[in-house]
Amino acid sequence: MKVSIIGATGYAGSELISILYKHPEVEIIHITSESHTGKKISEIYPHFTNIFEKELESLNDIEKIGAESDFVFVALPHGHAMDVGKKLENLPVKIIDLGADYRFRDTSIYEEWYKVPHTHKNAPRVYGLAEIYREEIKAAKIIGNAGCFTTASILALAPLAKHRLIDTSSIIIDAKSGVSGAGRSPKLGNHFPELYDNFKAYNVAHHRHTPEIEQAFKDLSGEDVIINFTPHLIPMSRGILSTCYANLKEDISAGTIDAAFQKMYGNEKFIRLLGRNAYPETKFVRGSNYCDIAWHIDERTRRVIVLSAIDNLVKGAAGQAVQNFNIAAGFDESTALDRLPFYP
């Protein structure tokens, strides 16, 4: 398969190159960057030196790029993929957007939360969370790759929502992310003296991943869902730990909870069920496409607390995109994704 990466110099774009370079069925034919056009990718990321030295192109030739590609990965901030999608809509190329432009079926929700007009409302799109939407992804023209916080949070509670074991009106999600999730562009809040030895919440009650999580839980449970989602920033490069709370319905036993996770994820390659009363850690999934999940039952409050850990740049971005690519292209889902976590 001939693939191209639009926005190759962000952290997610760099991670895509690292994964796809080792994919036995892929040739990377175009990589783009508007800020570094004409430079080699190894000038921006020296770890590619003497390994992958392709020159960065401009998006001005997007129609040519699309015509020469089987798949185009768009690793740009929200608001940019729609233009790519419109220009390529009459070509046979498939699009995997790592941003938010194609994650919502209802584009008015996108416009409300992202404050950007949606200019490709009628585009055929599928939400790209492989473990839940696998069948739809197989035939998709455009795949809206799931976000990083959303991947960790949706996967944590999906079995309980699907089997209606929890009160979906009671869901509270408390998630922490490493700073790479904020992207490569310098920002004051990510400046080392601001970030080091610090821990903070942000965008309380207003984070843009909130409606994305709600959309998936509605699909799973068949109920309208409104959640509380609070993200936090922690002073590390990679990783997300999501702690998810929900009230159990009447007469739901611990064994029923265990069985729901096993039934949904028992055969999933990239979900590792650590079981009841275990504790996932970000270091145990670092650099990998795995999502580690464990759950605890508070008998006193009749709540279930589910913990999930992912690498935000892999399972939360580039790895998930390649997993979706493998599904849509008809390859084994784990191709190029079976690398072990980095440790320590």
**Same-domain status, 74 and 115:** yes
- Mean pLDDT for 288-293 is 98
Check residue 183 and give its pLDDT: 84
205: which strand partners? none
**Same-domain status, 102 and 176:** no
48 falls in which pLDDT band (50, 70, 90)? Answer: very high
182 falls in which pLDDT band (50, 70, 90)? Answer: confident
Asked if the model's pLDDT at residue 187 lies above 90, the reply is no
- Mean pLDDT for 290-302 is 97
**Same-domain status, 284 and 161:** yes
40 falls in which pLDDT band (50, 70, 90)? Answer: very high
192 falls in which pLDDT band (50, 70, 90)? Answer: confident
- 96 lies in some domain: yes
Say how far residue 103 (Cα) sits from the centre of its chain.
11
**Same-domain status, 190 and 266:** yes
- Mean pLDDT for 240-260 is 97
107 falls in which pLDDT band (50, 70, 90)? Answer: very high
Say how far residue 132 (Cα) sits from the centre of its chain.
13
- State which residues form the domain around 301: 149-312
CATH assignment of the domain containing 166: 3.30.360.10
CATH assignment of the domain containing 74: 3.40.50.720
**Same-domain status, 261 and 168:** yes
Number of residues that this document lists for the chain: 344
- 66 lies in some domain: yes
184 falls in which pLDDT band (50, 70, 90)? Answer: confident
- Which residues are marked as active site? 148
- Mean pLDDT for 187-210 is 91
- 19 lies in some domain: yes
173 falls in which pLDDT band (50, 70, 90)? Answer: very high
Q: How many domains does the chain have?
A: 2
